[in-house]
C-alpha cells in the first residue's frame, strides 16, 4: 500500500488530500488537515496525483485512473453510475436510483454515496436533492460547494478558482 498527499488549492476548504494506492490502482482519497508520512510514489500514485492536480487546474474533466476499491455489489453499481455524471453537471438521488434500475433506493443510494472511498474521482459531489438543495457530503458542504463551483467555472470559462 502506498500513501501520498496532494496540496490542494489555497481556496479549497481542506489543505490536503491523502491518497492510498495498491498494485491495482487507487484505493482511497481522504480530506485531511495535516500532511503525514508518505511512501515513494508507485505508478498508480504518480498517475493519481497528476490526475488530481490536473483536475484542480481545470485541465481534467474525467478521471481514467484504475480503481482498487471494495464495496458491496450495490455500492459498486452506484459508484459506477456516479462516474457517468458529466463534469460540471448534477443529478438527483432520484435520477441515480432510476439509472441503476432501483427507483425507490434513495436512502440506500445516499448511504453508498457516503461510503464512496474515492471522492472527486468518483464524483459523489455531483449528487443533489431533487429540489436542487446540496444535500450532504462526507467532506462537508463547504467542500461540495467548492467542487461544484470549481467545475461550473471551468466549464463556462468564468474566472476560475485558482490555487
User: Could you tell me which residues are beta bridge partners of residue 67?
Assistant: 26
- CA 35, 1, 117, 53 dihedral sign is positive
Q: For residues 24 and 127, what is the distance between their CA atoms, to the nearest angstrom?
A: 27
Asked whether the beta carbons of 67 and 118 are under 8 A apart, the reply is: yes
Q: How far apart are CA 137 and CA 119, in angstroms?
A: 10
Note if 124 is an active site residue: yes
Distance of CA 129 to the CA centre of its chain: 17
Identified catalytic residue from 2, 27, 118, 124: 124
The residues carrying an active-site annotation are 124
Amino acid at each position: 500500500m502506498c500513501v501520498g498527499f496532494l496540496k490542494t488549492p489555497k481556496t479549497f476548504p481542506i489543505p490536503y488530500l491523502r491518497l492510498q494506492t495498491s498494485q491495482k490502482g487507487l484505493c482511497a482519497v481522504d480530506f485531511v488537515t495535516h500532511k503525514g508520512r508518505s511512501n515513494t510514489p508507485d505508478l498508480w500514485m504518480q498517475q493519481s496525483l497528476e490526475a488530481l492536480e490536473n483536475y484542480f487546474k481545470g485541465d481534467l474533466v474525467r478521471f481514467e485512473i484504475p480503481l482498487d476499491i471494495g464495496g458491496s455489489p450495490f455500492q459498486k453499481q452506484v459508484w459506477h453510475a456516479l462516474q457517468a455524471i458529466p463534469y460540471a453537471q448534477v443529478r438527483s438521488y432520484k435520477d441515480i436510483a432510476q439509472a441503476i434500475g432501483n427507483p425507490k433506493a434513495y436512502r440506500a443510494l445516499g448511504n453508498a454515496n457516503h461510503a464512496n472511498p474515492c471522492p472527486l474521482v468518483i464524483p459523489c459531489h455531483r449528487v443533489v436533492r431533487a429540489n436542487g438543495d446540496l444535500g450532504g457530503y462526507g467532506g462537508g458542504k463547504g467542500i461540495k460547494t467548492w467542487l461544484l463551483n470549481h467545475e461550473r467555472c471551468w466549464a463556462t470559462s468564468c474566472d476560475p478558482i485558482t490555487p
